[in-house]
Structures are given as C-alpha cells and as structure tokens.
Amino acid sequence: MRRAISKALTALIIVLVVALSLGAYLYFAGTAVKKPARKTVVIYASLSEMTSAEPSTEFSNSIMWMAVVYEPLLYYDPLNNVFIPALAESYEHDPSGLVWTFHLRKNAVFHDGTPVTAEAVKFSIERTISLGQGAAFIWDPVESIETPDNYTVVFHLKYQAPLDAIASSGYGAYIFSPNVVKYAKASNSTDPKITDWFNAGNDAGSGPYRLVKWDPQNEVVLEKFTDWWGWKDPKYPLKSDKAPDVFIIKIVKDSVTQERLVRSGDIQIAQTVPLEDIENLKNDPNLRVVMKPSFQNLLLFFNTRKPPLDNVLVRRAIAHAIPYEDIVKIAVNGLAKVASGPIPHGMWGHFDNFTYTYDLDLAKKLLTEAGYPNGINRTLVLTYTAGDVYEKRTAELIKSSLGRIGINVEIRPMSWQEQWALAQSGWNNSQAAQDLFIMYWWPTYVTPYDFLFNMFDSSSKSFDLCYYNNSEFEKIIDSAHQLEGIDRARSLELYYKAQKILYNDVPAIALWDSIDVKVARANIGGLDKAINPAYATVVFPQALSVEG
Amino acid sequence: MMSEVKALFTLMRKNIVAMVGFILVVAFFVIGIISPYILTRPEDAWGSTFNVSARYLPPSWEHPFGTDEFGRDMFNRVILGARFSLIIAVGVVGLALVLGVPIGLIAGYSGGRLGTILMRLTDMFLAFPPLLLAIALAATLGRGLANAIIALALSWWPWYARLVYVQVNTVKNMPYVDAARVLGLDSFTIMFRHVLPNALTPVVIQASLDMGSAVLEAAGLSFLGIGVQPPTPEWGLLVSEGWQSINVAWWISFFPGLAIVTTVLGFNLLAEFAREFMDPRLRITMMAKRWFK
Amino acid sequence: MPLGREYLLKRLFHLIFVVFGVLIITFIITRVLPARPELLWAGPHATIEQIERARKELHLDEPIYVQLGYYLWGFIRGNWGVSWRTKTPVLNGLLSALPATLELIIFAFSIATVLGVLLGIVAALRRNTMVDSVIQIFSVLGASMPVFWLALIMLYVFSNTLGWLPSSNRVDETLVISTGFHPITGFYLIDSLMQGNFPVFIDVLRHMILPALVLSLYPMGLSARMTRAMMVDVLHEPFIRSALTWGIPKKLVVYKYALKNAVAPVIASLGLSFGYTIIGAFMVELIFVWPGIGLYLAMSLLSFDYPAIMGAVIIVALFYSVINLIVDLIHAWIDPRLRL
C-alpha cells in the first residue's frame, strides 16, 4: 500500500515538474518573439492573379500594383473632370492641337536613384510603341517625341487627339528608367531580355512604392519608396502622411473568403465581397463600406451575322424582353445602375435616354413583324464567363425572360479565353460562334471612344464581337475622338449621334453599370481619394491613412 | 434465391438500422420517379422563372426550405433534384455494370493470359482516386449531365470488372460447374446458365448499394462546376449556388446537402446490413436471435 | 517478419506498371480524345504562330507511338506544360502547392486515426449500449456526408457566426510579417517550431483545425467501425476470457493484447479511405481557400486551364499509387497472409 502511494506520488511530482517546465518554456518562448519596430501593413485582396510585370505591354490585372510602382505623366480624376499632375507638372497644347508640350517635375527619381528625365519619358513611350502590344495603340496619334531639354517633352501628333487623357491611361503609359537595358544586359530597348527581367520581379519605376516580392499567383509585396517626390510635397492631393509602409496585394480568389478575411482583420481591404452581404457589413463597426461609381459595365452582344439575330427587329424584340431592373436587383443585389447606352454613368459622353422599356407585348409584336410569330425554333447559345456569379445570374435571368416570348436559350459557362476565342472565330465563320454573349468592359483611358471603337468598330477584331460593321458610325466616332481635346462640346454631339445609331441598330445591349463597392477595416482612411474609377481595381496606398 | 430474399426481408423487419435504410432508399426512388408530377411550383423547380419580391425568404410554411436569390422555392427544387440524382445514380451504375461485367466475366472465365491482361488494365484505372478520373474525363468531354454520367461510369467500371472476376474465379471452381462440364455442356452454356447468375448476385447487390456513392460523386462534380449545369436543380449544384449567399441565406445550401446526406445514409445503412447478411457468421447470429426472441 | 525481396520487387514492378498506365490513360485523354489537342495546350488566347509551335511541341504530325514516346519523355524531364492561367510551368505550381496539401492530409489522418481508434474501442467495450449505437451512427454518417457541404456548414457556424476560428488560408499574413516567419520545409507547423515562432505555430493550428476536422470525418468513421469490429472479434477469443478469469485487469487486457490486433484493420481502413479523402481534401481546400493542390485544381477547372488540370490529375494519381503501395507493404509486413 505504502509503496503504491509513494509510486503514485512520485509519478505526480514528475508530471508536475514536466508540465511546469513546459509551461515556462512556452511562456518565455512566446514573449521572446519580440515584434520588431512596427511597420504598418495594408493588405489588399485581389480576386484574380497578377498577370505580367511588363509596364509596356501589361493590359490586365497587374494594373493593381503597376499604377503604384510606376507613374504616368498625369492622372485623371473623372468625377471632377480634372487632370492631376504626376510626373508632369504642367502641360499645354498649341491651337492646332497637334503639338503637346509636357513639363516634367525636377525632383522625381526612379527607384534606382537616377532622376526622371525627358529622355526616360521618350524611351518608355517609344519602347511601348515599338513593342506594339497591350495598350500601345493609345499612342497611335503620336508622330514623334522630342526632348528639347532634360525636363521638357514635346509630342508631335499626326492628327488631333486628347493626349492628356492618353497620357493618363492606366495601361501602356508608364514611365520607366532607360537603365533597364543595362540591368537586363540587353542589346536594345525592344530586346526580350528586358521583358524577362521585368517578369522576374524587377521594377524600374518611380512611384511611391517599390516592388519587393513578386509571386503573381499568391501575393505581390510593395514597400514604401522613401525618396518619392510626393512625400516631400505638402500640397500634393494624392498622398497621405500615414500611408502604410508595406502594401501587399494578396490573391484571394473568391469573394466569400475576402469578406471573411476582412471581417477577421486578416486583410485590410477587400476588392469584392458578395453583394448580398453589403447590408450586414454596413452595420459592422469594424468595417467601412466604400461605394464609388465605376466605369465598368456589362453588355450583351448579338452575333449579328447569324440568323435570326441578323434581323434588327429580332434584336429589338429581345431588347424589350429583358427585365433590366430585375436583373440589377437579383444579379447584383441592387448594387448597379441600369445601363443607358454603352457609356457608363458618370463618364462624359453618357446620355440617359438610351434605355429600352421592358415590354413583353411589344417584344412579341416585333418578333411577329420579323416573321417569327411563334417564337424562334432554334435554341440560341449564350456564353458567359465561368465562375462569375453575377454573369451567371444575369444569364439565367435572360434565359427565363426570353423563354417568355418563345425564344429558347441555352446558357453555357466557359472560361474567358475559350469564350473569347469562340467569339473571335466568328470573324472567319460566323455560324460557328455563339449567338449571344455577355462580357464586361472598362476603358483603357477615359474616353467614350474607347467603348465605341473597341466594341463596335469593324477593325477591332478582338472586341467587336457583335461583328458590327457600319462605316457611317466609324466616321462619326473618329471625328468625335479627334475633337475631344479641342472642342469638347462638338465631340459630345458626335458621340450622341453615334450612340443613337447603336440604339436603333442594337448590335449589343448594355445591361448594367457596376458600382464599385469596396469593404475595408474601419481604421483605414483616405479610401475616397485612393479609389479612382479611371483606374479600375487600383487602390492608391500613398493616399491611405492607417490609424492605430 | 427467392427463399433467401424472403429470409432477408424477415431479418430486416427486426433490424432497425436496415428498416431505416430501406425506407430512406425507397423514399428516394419514389420521390425521384414521381417528382415532376408532384411539384407545387414547377417553374421554380425547373428554373425558368424568377420573382424579385420573393428573394431570400427564410424557411416558412409557404416555403419550407426558403427561397433562393431568384425567388425560387427551394423545396420544389430539392424535390425535383431527387429525379436528377436518381437518373445519375441509375445511369452511372448501370453503365458501369454494362462496361465492367462483360470484361470481368471474360477475364474470369478464360483465366490465364487474357485474364491477367484484362485485370492489369483495370489496375491502371484503379490507380486513380475515385473522382479524379471523372474530373479529367469531364474536363475533356465537356460539362453537362450526360457527360458527367459517362465520366463517372468510366471511372467506376473497373470495380465491377474486378468484383465479377473474383466471383467468377470462385464459382468456376465449384463442384457443380465441374459436374456440368462432365455432363458435356459447352463452355458458353456453362458460363451463362451456371456461372453468371451465381457470380452476379453479390455484384448486383454491391451495385445497388453503390448508387448512394454515385449520387455523392455526381454532387461533387456539380459542385466543382463540371457536372450538371444550371438551372438544373441537382443537389450538388444547389449547394454550390448557395455558397455565394451563405451569409444571408444559409438555407439555400443547407437543405440540398441534407437531402444528399439522407439519401446516401439510406444506402449506406442498407449496405451495412447487407454486409452483415453476407457474412455467414453474422447471418447465423442474426437468424439465431430471431428464433430465440 | 521481414518481407521477402521477391515480394518487394513484385510490388515495385506493379507500381511502375501502374504509373505507366496512369500516364497512358492521361495521354489518351489529352491527345487522342480531343479534336484539336494543340489548342488545348496553347490556350485559346494563342496566336497562329503559337498554335503551330504547339503542334510541333506535341509532335502531332507524327504517328501515335512516337507521340506517346515524346509525351512520356517530356514528363520524366519535368516538362508538364505551362498553365495558361498563371503563365508559369505547371510542375512548379503543383510542387509549391504540395506541402500545404500534405500537411493538411497528414494532420487530418492523425486526428482520424487517434479519435477513430478510441471511438472504436469505446464502442466495442460498450457493445449494444446507447454509446455503441451513437458511435456507429456517427461512423455511417461520416461516410454519407458530402464533404463540401459539411465544410460550408462548419465554416458558417464556427467562423462566420461564432467567429471562433479563422476562415481561410494557412496563417495570418500580418503575423507572419511582424514575426518574420519564413517557410523552410513548407510544413508550417514544423517550420514555425523550428524557428521557435510560437505565435505563428498557434495561428497555423487555429487555421488548420477546422479543415482538418472536416476532412477527418470520413476516415474517422471508417477506422472506428473497423476497430470496433476487430475489437469485438478479439474480445471473444478464448485467450481473452482466460486472461480475465485469471484476474488480469480489463484495461490491461484491452490495451495490451486486443489493441495489437487492431493495428492491421486500422491500416486497412486508412488505405481504403485514402482515395476518398484525397478528393475530400480538394473540396475542403476550395472552401477554406487552403493553398494546396486541391485549390490549384479547382481554379484550373474554373478557368478550364487544360495543362494544369491534367498535371494536377497526374500528380494526384501518382501520389495515390505510391501511398497505396506503402499501405499494402505495411499491411503485408504485419500480416503475411495478405501477401498475394
């Protein structure tokens, strides 16, 4: 008995000693991990992976960080219709509109310490033009670029064009250091070695942050560039003293997760959250919901070469058979505006009288007029991008509504690339392409021409996927574009005329204009400045202020 | 065989687990077959309509399973979903049997070289974990109900082939087969009249019980987006559709998933029972219990 | 009992043969079945030149056996194609995602084995009582539940509603930065301990517990059932009865003798449930946004990134075959009767 007790006692004592030492170790180990000097970090979740790191040719998701690491000559604030100076302090153009002069600021430096000179501007833009990919087409009007001195750049244009808008583009207008040729051990500016150097995660920009980690599928880490000219300029609007030291773009591929992460504080800004949850999120004191207009819209394209959609009456019938209000309510929980024409709300060139009424009787009447009194006997194929919930719901709603006027629609989700390729193949064989497809559009730089040319001009084979070919229309938009920088009023008149043509011909229908909704932690301020519809998906961290 | 079936049912009546399983499975079949005719809101079920004012309604008397983002009644959708699950279950298992049984039969009966080669072939297919081959096939063949059934069946047939092979191997060495051969019957007759029925019984039982797994796997494919396509109300697809709205409307994902669980549970319970029934030791115990109760 | 060399060689040959078979099947799926395999390889966004180059790369103008040869050779050399979505090689993407999946699966299986065996023992000891019935129902339920559904529900309850646990990823980024955590092996639990980084260790645990629990349900149920069955059988053996009548404490009998015999069926059950669990891991990774192979595959499926899909399928099939072999070997080592 006694032996049993002392055995148990010994066991107990051993256990206690072990537990205590373990506890002590853990405690000290925990406190030993001292947090270093607190760096403020803001994590911004992105829905899609980053694409390339090439400032001359990038035309996709990487704008999210490129617009922060690199700088264009100007930024454009579309809601106040002003240009904000970036690398160019001021600019002017001559009366003919063919010579534009930009004056660069003198204290801008690249991340490698070298100053931003006119030579660098000329180098960057000429390289972009030579490579001819991505958004290089925006520089088409440029005949030549001169650099009379280190801080003056003169553009000579072939024809009139709004060069200030062009130079403020979020794609293809970035200025980078000519030293890339040296760093990449390349032979000239168009040597592919430079592209490889960029895509290996190197940056040659001048912006407020530098690229520190490049893992395009998972995250992109940016760190504050302390020598940025903007930090030292007290009056510069697009900056804040409490900007984060580190800005991370983290790839979080679905909106439900982004919402969870921002609620738990694992990320500070979510790019998208399920729109159904916005109401609840507004009531959360730890979060703030920021809504701003965006220039993204969703359009339904018709294959205008494939019967029965080659008949304009059929297209008009469909236009009146789509429940636009309901689509906005159901698909995006009311967080969009019913579109009126292809130019979104808030952008100049938008007009409010290009809507179609939802009138099933009228639709049926038009169908009968077109020769289909009993509906259409072929099943039309509508494609949309797989994985996009809002497109999916919109497609289902279109299918249901068209079913009511006797048009049978099969909705087919496809990957974006497949869908796009299928539609493009319609230029060679229109019968092989789909009948209907929905896609988003947003501008490269803010001008109605971007929408109207890319989606409806017959020379834009990549995106004129309704195969619209109307030379009168094309002449009108060309003139309108040329007059943009010089005679805005006349330009507007012409854009109205062009949209009226589209309204009558119905090669495509704009469904809704997105509202940009971002959810952030309550301690992140300055979002209003940092979000700009002209730079879709970008949050400018230099304008944020991190509290606490 | 009839006496065995009768014994089976008598045993089942005493065994709660089996009864519950049986009821669930029968319910699944019945609902699956008659569902298009008992729908109270067929348009909601088939997904051809929408009702903005009825969006995201929580479960109530009028909408026992609530409504989804289109205002469609979830109860109707789940009921109709049973039909698609039934079609898939029967289709997958049936097709897999059609493919697997002949191969297993030939391999087992001929034995030797041919048998080994065929079994090696099935081994290659069996090297893929359950859904993976189906995923790869669905990615190649394309989305949709038919392709999902084909993809799943193509990944399932090896199981049955192997099962039949083992059974045939056992049976062909039985005395009565030797007797038949001695009596002068030709191989063909032997194979079809004697070997096949005895070899097939366990396979057919296994296949019937596997239907539950077919439903589960098809739901997985639809959830990943490569199976059935919207607006078809297949249960797995309904769960994935409810994912986006889960914070405002948990019921959209919940009830279809519950339907999957109850259906598969029914099959699994029956399978448990069948396993015990097939194992002679336990069967004797079961029967003994019945005699002495 | 050592395994005969002959047996080992036999199994190894079998493995190589199976791997070969997997590659051939995927070859058929990727090159023979599709109408224009070069389109699938290059991606629809490709230019005419890129499509032509794909045709040459795939040797599509040559006879089938030559194509097969190049296909196999390409795999061995590590050329698994380039993902359209990420524009990076498929093999790299898969390898970097592998540790995350492995860590999750190993953790889930550990939970499943420990809890499953315990539950099985309890059920066997308390046979035919309420406890036994509850455990049995639980096991069958585990095999009946769609993993993705369970994951969604758990997420909703524990993360969204109760807020007890984080809802995705492996670790909190801000914590990683502020404590300077670097992955070494890719297994964050090990890495954080190696660096003495306790906060990250706890954080990783918090992130892993929910997905691992969900994933472990099926194998847990299976091992509980098999353990129970084995225990019930063993407990009826005469030598157990004799031991009990001789006064050896029941606990000792159970844990020392009966448990030894339970090892074989537990291994068997793990082997059986492994295939199902791998697929479960995909669903769980998708819902918890766990950056492993499952998520890679799911994202590839969504964007129809064909080279990535096939790469993921192959790596999982290979992995599965290898694990099956290991399980079979262990099984055979323990029980020589099974060496077929």
Rounded to whole angstroms, the Cα distance separating B106 from B121 reads 13
Instruction: Kindly report the number of other CB atoms within 10 A of residue A69's CB atom.
Output: 26
Tokens of A297: 């819209």
Closest C-alpha to A411, from B256, B143, C300, B76: B143
Q: Do A276 and B247 touch (CB under 8 A)?
A: yes
Q: Phi/psi of residue A474, each to 5°?
A: -65, -35
User: What is the sign, positive or negative, of the torsion defined by CA atoms of A255, A259, A265, A266?
Assistant: negative
Q: Does A379 touch chain B (CB under 8 A)?
A: no
Rg (CA), chain B: 22
Is residue C183 one of the residues assigned to a domain?
yes
Q: Does A338 touch chain B (CB under 8 A)?
A: no
* pLDDT of res. A290: 93
Average pLDDT over chain A reads 88
Nearest CA to CA, how far is B235 from chain A (Å)?
18
In this prediction, residue C132 has a pLDDT band, given cuts at 50, 70 and 90, of: confident
In this prediction, residue B155 has a pLDDT band, given cuts at 50, 70 and 90, of: confident
Tokens of A422: 């299928």
Of B122 and B196, the one with more pLDDT: B122
Rounded to whole angstroms, the Cα distance separating A192 from A199 reads 11
Closest C-alpha to A517, from A338, A332, A340: A332
Rounded to whole angstroms, the Cα distance separating B12 from B19 reads 6
- In the DSSP assignment, the letter for residue A87 is S
In this prediction, residue A4 has a pLDDT band, given cuts at 50, 70 and 90, of: very low
Give me the domains of chain B, ranges plus CATH numbers.
Answer: 2-291 (1.10.3720.10)
Tokens of B288: 């003994």
Residue among C11, C13, C149 with most chain B CBs within 10 A, to mutate: C149
The burial class, CB within 10 Å (0-12 / 13-18 / 19+), for C34 is: middle
Are A363 and A508 in the same domain? yes
Query: Chain C 257-286, CB below 8 Å of chain B: which residues?
Result: 274-276, 278-279, 282-283, 286
Q: Do A49 and C86 touch (CB under 8 A)?
A: yes
Do β-strands A287-302 and A508-521 pair in parallel, antiparallel, or remain unpaired? antiparallel
Of C124 and A145, the one with more pLDDT: A145
Is residue C228 one of the residues assigned to a domain?
yes
ipTM comes to 0.83
In the three-class reduction of DSSP (H, G, I as helix; E, B as strand; rest coil), residue C71 is classed as: helix
CB pairs under 8 A between A and C: 90
Rounded to whole angstroms, the Cα distance separating A445 from A73 reads 13
Are A370 and A263 in the same domain? no
pLDDT value at C108 more than 50:
yes
Q: Does A223 touch chain C (CB under 8 A)?
A: no
Of the listed ranges A195-204, A296-305, C2-11, C304-313, the one predicted with least confidence: C2-11
Q: Identify which of B52, B225, B246 has the shortest CB distance to residue A329.
A: B52
Rounded to whole angstroms, the Cα distance separating A276 from B248 reads 7
Is residue A198 one of the residues assigned to a domain?
yes
Taking contacts as CB-CB distances below 8 angstroms, the residues of chain A near C44 are: 415, 417-418, 420-422
Give the rounded percent of residues in chain B with a pLDDT score beyond 70: 85
Are A231 and A322 in the same domain? no
Tokens of A117: 């000179």
Are A323 and A279 in the same domain? no
Nearest CA to CA, how far is A488 from chain B (Å)?
42
Q: Which chains touch B (3 or more CB pairs under 8 A)?
A: A, C
Domain that residue A108 falls in: 43-286+522-546
Are A510 and A528 in the same domain? no
Q: Tell me the per-residue pLDDT of A312-327, one tens digit each, with 9 for 90 and over.
A: 999 999 999 999 999 9
CB B44 within 8 A of CB B72: yes
In the three-class reduction of DSSP (H, G, I as helix; E, B as strand; rest coil), residue A525 is classed as: strand
Of A355 and B44, the one with more pLDDT: A355
CATH number, residue A423: 3.10.105.10
Tokens of C221: 């149920």
Are A254 and A368 in the same domain? no
Nearest CA to CA, how far is A248 from chain C (Å)?
10
Are A60 and A125 in the same domain? yes
Is residue A33 one of the residues assigned to a domain?
no
Q: Do C174 and A33 touch (CB under 8 A)?
A: no
Q: Do A250 and C86 touch (CB under 8 A)?
A: no
Of C275 and A172, the one with more pLDDT: A172
Residue among A279, A392, A396, A404 with most chain B CBs within 10 A, to mutate: A396
Is residue A368 one of the residues assigned to a domain?
yes
- Which DSSP string corresponds to A467-489? ----HHHHHHHHHHHHHTTT-HH
Q: Tell me the per-residue pLDDT of C245-303, one tens digit each, with 9 for 90 and over.
A: 777 666 666 667 666 766 767 777 777 788 888 888 888 988 887 888 888 888 887 77
Query: Could you give the number of structural domains in chain A?
Result: 2
Are A486 and A530 in the same domain? no
Average pLDDT over chain B reads 81
Tokens of A7: 């055995």
Closest C-alpha to B254, from A332, C143, C151, A261: C151
CB C228 within 8 A of CB C124: yes
Nearest CA to CA, how far is B28 from chain A (Å)?
28
Can you say how many angstroms the Cα of residue C223 is from the centroid of all Cα atoms in its chain?
A: 16
Of A2 and A460, the one with more pLDDT: A460
Query: Could you give the number of structural domains in chain C?
Result: 1
Can you say how many angstroms the Cα of residue B293 is from the centroid of all Cα atoms in its chain?
A: 35
- In the DSSP assignment, the letter for residue B66 is -
CATH number, residue C194: 1.10.3720.10
Domain that residue C169 falls in: 95-307
Residue among A287, A400, A401 with most chain B CBs within 10 A, to mutate: A400
Q: Does A143 touch chain B (CB under 8 A)?
A: no
* pLDDT of res. C327: 78
CATH number, residue A238: 3.40.190.10
Are A477 and A542 in the same domain? no
Contacts of A5 (CB under 8 A, 6+ apart): none
Are A335 and A252 in the same domain? no
Is residue C201 one of the residues assigned to a domain?
yes
Q: Does A386 touch chain C (CB under 8 A)?
A: yes
* pLDDT of res. A122: 94
CA angle at residue A452 from A448 to A453, to 5 degrees? Answer: 110
Is residue C6 one of the residues assigned to a domain?
no
Alpha carbons within 13 angstroms on the beta-carbon side of residue A18 total 6
Q: Tell me the per-residue pLDDT of C1-53, one tens digit each, with 9 for 90 and over.
A: 456 677 778 778 878 887 888 888 877 777 766 666 666 666 555 566 667 77
In the three-class reduction of DSSP (H, G, I as helix; E, B as strand; rest coil), residue C38 is classed as: helix
pLDDT value at A32 more than 50:
no
Nearest CA to CA, how far is C51 from chain A (Å)?
13
Can you say how many angstroms the Cα of residue B227 is from the centroid of all Cα atoms in its chain?
A: 16
Q: Do A396 and B47 touch (CB under 8 A)?
A: yes
Q: Tell me the per-residue pLDDT of A417-456, one tens digit each, with 9 for 90 and over.
A: 678 878 888 888 888 889 999 999 888 888 999 999 989 9
Are A223 and A359 in the same domain? no
Q: Does A397 touch chain B (CB under 8 A)?
A: yes
Is residue C24 one of the residues assigned to a domain?
no
* pLDDT of res. C237: 73
Q: Tell me the per-residue pLDDT of C159-201, one tens digit each, with 9 for 90 and over.
A: 777 666 666 667 766 667 667 777 777 787 777 777 777 888 8
Beta strands in A216-339 (DSSP E): 219-224, 246-251, 269-270, 287-302, 336-338
Are A265 and A334 in the same domain? no
